[in-house]
Amino acid sequence: MAHTPTSSMTSSFQGPSSSTAITHIVVFKYRPDITWTDLEAHFSVFRALQTQCVHPSTGKPYMLSMRMGNNRSREALNKGMTHGFVLEFASQDDLDYYLTKDPVHAAFSKAAKPLIEDSLVVDITPGKLFGDLPAPLTSKTTHSGSCHCGNLAFTAALDTYPQPLHVLCHCRTCQLLSGSPYTCNTIIPQGDLTITRGSPAEYAYTGASGKKVHCFFCRECTSHIYHVQDVAPDVVVVRTLLLEDGPKWGAGGEIFAEGRLGWVSDLKAALE
């Protein structure tokens, strides 16, 4: 970072306190090359979540309190973490809404992801020192998709949390099969993909693993829906741009980056 912040920021929203209240503790390690100006803007947006995150059932803010500050510990035990954030919610349901459904928080998380090198999250119920861990956030949402001509339709059940994102593949095979610089994908259990209309054709080739990769596509328009690799037969790789809401998602990662065409990263700037 260009400068190390030396002050902490706190804010408080007056709300009810009860035995069901839950404290959400987040610790971040920010990338060292972030400028103070960018970091200050990020903190400003973060702090505003307390009033801008509104619950749909009440139309009012539901975060009870927020505290944030940079690491001030003299102990050499911070594992490189630079900042801590303590958020309080009235119930687990409110925290779950914040993490999985709140559109304001979702937009903030998407914008913040490139700034964060590492993170740690702990949720506690104040005063409760024993008990089983709650079930992880694994709820799924069904997304519909189809080929170009519509003869082949399918659904894919994707995790609601974290928000679905495209994984860009730059391998030469994807470039040849799609005629594009990269493809947009996600990997899901085979049981979470359902063909709801039509019957796909299959094309198989030998992948980098030395085992077969089975591609499934529309017989009419040739849209590539998904593929299955013999090296990992329990999962499928779905073409996420064929999902109805796929164009709204951002990119969450890339594979075979060594195959990325040189102008891909500069495309936006070149066209402006």
CATH of the domain at 154: 2.170.150.70
Q: How many domains does one find in the chain?
A: 2
DSSP classification of residue 57: T
In a domain, 133, yes or no: no
Same domain, 109 and 159: no
Enter the pTM of the model: 0.56
Residues 154 and 241 in one domain: yes
DSSP 61: B
**pLDDT at 65 (0 to 100):** 96
Question: pLDDT, tens digit, for every residue of 178-224?
Answer: 999 999 999 999 999 999 999 999 999 998 889 999 999 999 999 99
For 86, the domain range is 9-124
Burial 244-256 (b: 16+ CB within 10 A, else e): eebeebeeeeeeb
Q: Judge whether 130 lies within some domain.
A: no
Over residues 94-147, the pLDDT tens digits come to 998 999 888 899 889 878 888 999 999 999 998 888 888 777 766 788 999 999
Residue finishing a domain among 124, 156, 184: 124
User: Is residue 56 in some structural domain?
Assistant: yes
How far, in Å, CA of 146 to CA of 206, rounded? 26
Q: What is the secondary structure of 130-175 as a DSSP string?
A: --PPPPP---EEEEEEE-SSSSSEEEEEEESSSPP-EEEE--HHHH
Whole-number Å distance between alpha carbons of 200 and 219: 6
Boundary of a domain, candidates 95, 124, 153: 124
Same domain, 114 and 164: no
Same domain? For 148 and 59 the reply is no
Give me the pLDDT at residue 272, please.
59
Per-residue pLDDT, averaged over 145-158, amounts to: 95
95: CB partners within 8 A, 6+ apart = 22, 24, 89, 123
Q: Which of 100, 124, 148 is the last residue of a domain?
A: 124
How far apart CA 187 and CA 55 sit, in angstroms, is 32
